[in-house]
């Protein structure tokens, strides 16, 4: 009965305001993703995004008080999606060899995702240095460490729990530092640096050499 009353309050062909809001926010984010990636975050204004979505600029301000908040929303959603993707890949691992392959794939794909999306690439340095983002970064890193630890615990049985956790925390911090350094290099040079970093990640977990090839 409650659903019937709700539906009867809208004219034929219309939809609940909440649903329209979700669609509007989704359209804004999709447009921002495309424009930021194509032109760079600093080169795109909220007015350009509004024109692309075909809505008044004021509508964007209903959901995002400024461009920084829009960028933060895109960044946070992307980072959460990467975490979910990494978790799904590790959950599917069935043996020692698959773990090695998946570990390298997750580290490399995360690097590529950050590099290829301007709102991640251009803000990653700030994410690592701005005081306002320290809490967010800490929480995200804790999630990454937990995912890597749980996956490693299944197959790196020769390591003690404490030592494995410590190594992953340190290696995760080093990976973050490498990611930041890569921002200052051309793509090919950055790729080479990250590949060496991933090789080091594997070596420091004392994985067999074949896992790092």
**Domain assignments of the chain as residue spans, ordered by start:** 12-63, 72-212
Which residues does 74 contact at the CB level (< 8 Å), separation at least 6?
A: 29, 32, 33, 36, 117, 119
Dump strand ranges (E) for the chain. Answer: none
Contact 123, 76 (CB under 8 A): no
CA distance 196 to 172: 14
Q: What is the mean pLDDT of each successive set of 10 residues along the chain, which is 213 residues long?
A: 35 53 92 89 93 95 91 86 93 90 92 80 57 69 90 83 88 86 86 92 68 44
Same fold, 12-63 and 72-212: no
pLDDT of residue 132: 59
What pLDDT score does 133 carry?
62
Class of domain 12-63: mainly alpha
CATH number for the region 72-212 comes to 1.10.357
**pLDDT at residue 20 in the model:** 82
Q: Is the distance from CB of 95 to CB of 81 less than 8 angstroms? A: no
Q: What is the pLDDT of residue 10?
A: 34
Yes or no: say if 176 and 128 are a contact pair by the CB < 8 Å rule.
yes
Predicted pLDDT at 11: 40
């Amino acid at each position: 009965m409650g659903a019937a009353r709700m539906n009867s309050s809208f004219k034929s062909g219309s939809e609940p305001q909440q649903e329209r809001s979700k669609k509007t926010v989704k359209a804004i984010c999709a447009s921002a993703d495309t424009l930021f990636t194509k032109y760079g975050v600093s080169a795109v204004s909220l007015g350009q995004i509004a024109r692309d979505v075909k809505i008044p600029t004021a509508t964007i301000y209903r959901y995002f008080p400024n461009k920084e908040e829009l960028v933060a929303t895109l960044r946070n959603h992307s980072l959460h999606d990467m975490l979910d993707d990494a978790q799904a890949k590790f959950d599917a691992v069935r043996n020692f060899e698959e773990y090695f392959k998946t570990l390298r794939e997750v580290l490399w794909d995360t690097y590529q995702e950050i590099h290829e999306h301007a709102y991640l690439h251009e803000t990653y340095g700030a994410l690592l240095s701005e005081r306002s983002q320290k809490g967010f970064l800490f929480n995200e890193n804790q999630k990454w460490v937990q995912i890597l630890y749980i996956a490693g615990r299944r197959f790196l049985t020769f390591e003690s729990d404490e030592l494995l956790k410590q190594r992953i925390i340190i290696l995760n911090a080093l990976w973050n530092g490498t990611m930041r350094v890569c921002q200052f290099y051309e793509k090919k040079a950055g790729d080479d640096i990250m590949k060496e970093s991933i090789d080091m990640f594997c070596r420091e977990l004392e994985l067999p050499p074949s896992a790092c090839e």
